[in-house]
A and B are shown apart, each in its own frame.
Chain A
Amino acid sequence: MIQTIRDIFRVIRHPGDLFSISAADPYKSLKIRVVLLDAILSLLPLVIVVTISYFWFQSILKEDYRSQIKWQIENTKQSLDFFIEERVSGLRFIASTFTYEQLSDRKTLANVFLKFKREVSGLVDLGVIDSNGIQQAYVGPYKLEGKDYSNHDWFDEVTVRNVYVSDVFMGYRKLPHFAIAVKRELPEQGTFWILRATIDVETLSKFASAMNLGAEDDAFLINKEGVIQTPSQFHGNVLGKLTFPLPGSQQGVTVHEITESPHHECTICGYAELKNSPWILVAMIQSAPYLKIPRIFKNELLFIIIISTIIGIIVVTRIANTLVNRIQEAEKEREDAIAQSEHASKLASVGRLASGVAHEINNPLAIINEKAGLIKDILEVSEDPSKNREKFLGLINSIFDSVSRCRTITHRLLGFSRRMDTAHELFDMNDAIREVLGFLEKEIMFRNIRLELVLAEDLPRLMSDKGQIQQVLLNIFNNALDALLEGKEGAITITTDSKDQKIRVSVSDNGHGIPKDKLKKIFEPFYSTKEKGKGTGLGLFISYGIIKKLGGNILVESEATKGTKFTIEIPTTSTSQ
């Protein structure tokens, strides 16, 4: 088994070796093929299932993580919305509770500022601005009383929209701030005034950092022009420009992946527009924990696959070994059985030959017997044997004729049996056919069979195994004789011709023929259509083997009840294997 596994790896490394192995040992290559095929069959589904479930698991994790991010962004966005809303409401409340005159008084304003600052964090300063844009009163760290805001954009905005939340800007102390302004209408006087508060950005950024994010992640605010509003870890300073564009803003939270981020291979980017302020909350997630979980999962899967593969290959190799060994044994048994039955068939054909030859020899022996008996009879009754001299000579000549008849038969038989063993010789196919027919001519004559020989005159001589070819011819002629029906004039035609360095012998009869379903079986060993005990079922099987061994071919055409035609083709120079 270890040997087999070693061979398999050798084949995998050098696929060309499969052919050299197959040439050397067909069972080994069969074994390797069985192992490889079985391994592919059993391991392929495993690999497919594992791969599919891996990607499926990854996509579920990813989806889950994305919705978690979305939910966090949504939460933070709402907190930020509320934070700004709270401050706007606070300013509105102050503006509607106090009159312009009350707040223009610096003392009252300072009082309100202190109380307001206690309630809401991050408040830096508070100012009252009249309808001309002049800051009438101010409480805060700077000297901004009397500052004219009428040229500022935000002043126009707030007069139109009543509430204004500014972008982040650098204050005089170089700290980022943003401003909230609310307008208070005075319809009786037909004028208005504005309450403006500045708020430290740090309070805003606390919300972003409150998001439950990893060390490589980043959350910050930008304005609609992509200018960063709160400190970010990796994407630039406050008031810097965001390095990548965000796709058009949509309602609610958008989460998508940026595959070509400057920092990492894969970044999840989530963002949401705030409700009452000009900002967008952005979260950049690089830690992507879902990428780590599948790694553990992946290792486990890999482990399972390797274990299964090892078990699979061991099992498959064992199965292949057992299987191929069984086949090998069966093949050997079959070869032994065929070798034995080939011998049996040879004996059977010798038996048939013997009974034919016995008849051939018994007839001249009977003549000799009678002639000699007659001579003896005459000698016994006659007083003067010399009177019968002429008669005796005739009888003795007749005995010699019979003896030479016997000799012809025994010589033919000897020649035939001698050639059973000899290898290749140069011979004429027509002569070989006539010699074989010599054994059968009596039977052909007695059964009134019409034998037609269409033998090509210019047939080239061939170099082949004459004895074996004659054995095949005898078998085919015998089959033709056996196929002829009683009560119908039997006819056998033997044709020879040559073409393309091949000699072709066709033997056709008008016997019972072979049905189509049986035709393909006739060359199988132990298949016989003859009556039980008449045929061994090996004749054609052995003939087929002989002709193939001589590099030739044997063909059969047949139609039930019409007759059969066997054709053998033999190369004029065949090399025996």
Chain B
Amino acid sequence: MTRTKVLLVDDEVEFASALAERLQMRNYEVRTASNGLEAMALFHEMPPDVVLLDLKIPGMDGLEILSNIKKFDPSIEVLMLTGHGDVASVQKGMQSGALEYMMKPIDIDELTSKIDRARRKRERG
């Protein structure tokens, strides 16, 4: 089985870099983007299996990125990350096709098991 390709979209660079390194140590192929445009550029370069998406991002809104991803390839699974108990945004995200959401700060084992589950779901089609 090839390594799972993960795209991490978060404006907190410190957070994104540390999380990316940890995931790489756990044998994931990770790329990070700090805003919507960057994310979309990377997306076309290397289509990921799973996207970790922070909902509150300056510039292009998290929900907007989500709908762009789903437009490009509906089979790509999206996990939402949020530091905010904004129930309305989470609900909208779930309606737009996100698989799950997680509250920051996140537990790394929980995150990897969710990424794996998303990958399996994508493989099954």
Which positions 364-387 of chain A face chain B at CB distance < 8 Å?
365-371, 373-374, 377-378, 381
Closest to B104 in A: A366
Measured between beta carbons, the chain B residues less than 8 angstroms from A398 are 14, 18
Measured between beta carbons, the chain A residues less than 8 angstroms from B18 are 367, 370-371, 373-374, 395, 398
Measured between beta carbons, the chain B residues less than 8 angstroms from A402 are 14
Measured between beta carbons, the chain A residues less than 8 angstroms from B103 are 362
B108 adjacent to chain A (CB < 8 Å):
yes
A377 to chain B, nearest CB (A): 5
Which positions 73-113 of chain B face chain A at CB distance < 8 Å?
83-86, 103-106, 108
A399 to chain B, nearest CB (A): 10
CB pair A362–B14 under 8 Å, yes or no, is no
Count class of interface residues, chain B: 20 to 34
B2 to chain A, nearest CB (A): 22
- Residue with the highest number of chain B CB atoms closer than 10 Å, among A366, A368, A381, A401: A366
B38 adjacent to chain A (CB < 8 Å):
no
Q: B32-68 vs A: 1/0 string, CB under 8 Å?
A: 0000000000000000000000001111010000000
A172 adjacent to chain B (CB < 8 Å):
no
Please, how many angstroms separate the alpha-carbon atoms of A561 and B108 in the complex?
Answer: 47
Please, how many angstroms separate the alpha-carbon atoms of A95 and B106 in the complex?
Answer: 158
- Residue with the highest number of chain A CB atoms closer than 10 Å, among B56, B57, B105, B106: B105
CB pair B104–A355 under 8 Å, yes or no, is no
Asked if A370 meets B84 with Cβ closer than 8 Å, knowing A363-B104, A365-B104, A381-B25, the reply is: no
Measured between beta carbons, the chain B residues less than 8 angstroms from A358 are 83-85
CB pair B84–A366 under 8 Å, yes or no, is no
Closest to A443 in B: B56
Please, how many angstroms separate the alpha-carbon atoms of A398 and B85 in the complex?
Answer: 25
A311 to chain B, nearest CB (A): 67
A406 to chain B, nearest CB (A): 12
Measured between beta carbons, the chain B residues less than 8 angstroms from A377 are 22, 25
CB pair B84–A373 under 8 Å, yes or no, is no
Please, how many angstroms separate the alpha-carbon atoms of A366 and B103 in the complex?
Answer: 9
CB pair B83–A362 under 8 Å, yes or no, is yes
Count class of interface residues, chain A: 20 to 34
Measured between beta carbons, the chain B residues less than 8 angstroms from A371 are 14, 18
A359 adjacent to chain B (CB < 8 Å):
yes
Measured between beta carbons, the chain B residues less than 8 angstroms from A93 are none
Which one, B15, B56, B57, B58, contacts A370 given CB within 8 A? B15
Measured between beta carbons, the chain B residues less than 8 angstroms from A366 are 12, 15, 83, 104-106
B90 to chain A, nearest CB (A): 13
Closest to A368 in B: B105
Please, how many angstroms separate the alpha-carbon atoms of A371 and B18 in the complex?
Answer: 6
Q: B1-16 vs A: 1/0 string, CB under 8 Å?
A: 0000000000010110
CB pair A355–B85 under 8 Å, yes or no, is yes
Measured between beta carbons, the chain A residues less than 8 angstroms from B83 are 358-359, 362-363, 366
A422 adjacent to chain B (CB < 8 Å):
no
Please, how many angstroms separate the alpha-carbon atoms of A380 and B52 in the complex?
Answer: 25
B83 to chain A, nearest CB (A): 4
Closest to B16 in A: A370
CB pair B12–A363 under 8 Å, yes or no, is yes
Please, how many angstroms separate the alpha-carbon atoms of A61 and B57 in the complex?
Answer: 101
Which one, B22, B57, B104, contacts A362 given CB within 8 A? B104
Which one, B12, B21, B58, B59, contacts A367 given CB within 8 A? B12
CB pair A365–B105 under 8 Å, yes or no, is yes
Asked if A374 meets B15 with Cβ closer than 8 Å, knowing A355-B84, A359-B84, A446-B57, the reply is: no
A445 adjacent to chain B (CB < 8 Å):
yes
Measured between beta carbons, the chain B residues less than 8 angstroms from A381 are 25
Asked if A373 meets B108 with Cβ closer than 8 Å, knowing A359-B84, A395-B18, the reply is: yes
A448 adjacent to chain B (CB < 8 Å):
yes
Closest to B26 in A: A377
Measured between beta carbons, the chain B residues less than 8 angstroms from A363 are 12, 15, 83, 104
Which positions 437-468 of chain A face chain B at CB distance < 8 Å?
442, 445-446, 448
List the 10 closest A-B pairs by CB distance, nearest first. Answer: A362-B83, A370-B18, A369-B105, A359-B84, A366-B104, A366-B105, A367-B15, A370-B19, A365-B105, A362-B104
| Residues of B participating in the A interface, judged by any CB pair closer than 8 Å | 12, 14-15, 18-19, 21-22, 25, 56-59, 61, 83-86, 103-106, 108
11 contacts between A and B (CB under 8 A): A363-B12, A365-B104, A366-B15, A366-B104, A367-B18, A368-B105, A370-B14, A371-B14, A377-B25, A401-B14, A446-B57
Q: A358-B84, A446-B57 are in contact. List 10 more A-B contacts (CB 8 A).
A: A358-B83, A358-B85, A359-B84, A366-B105, A370-B18, A373-B18, A373-B22, A374-B18, A378-B25, A381-B25
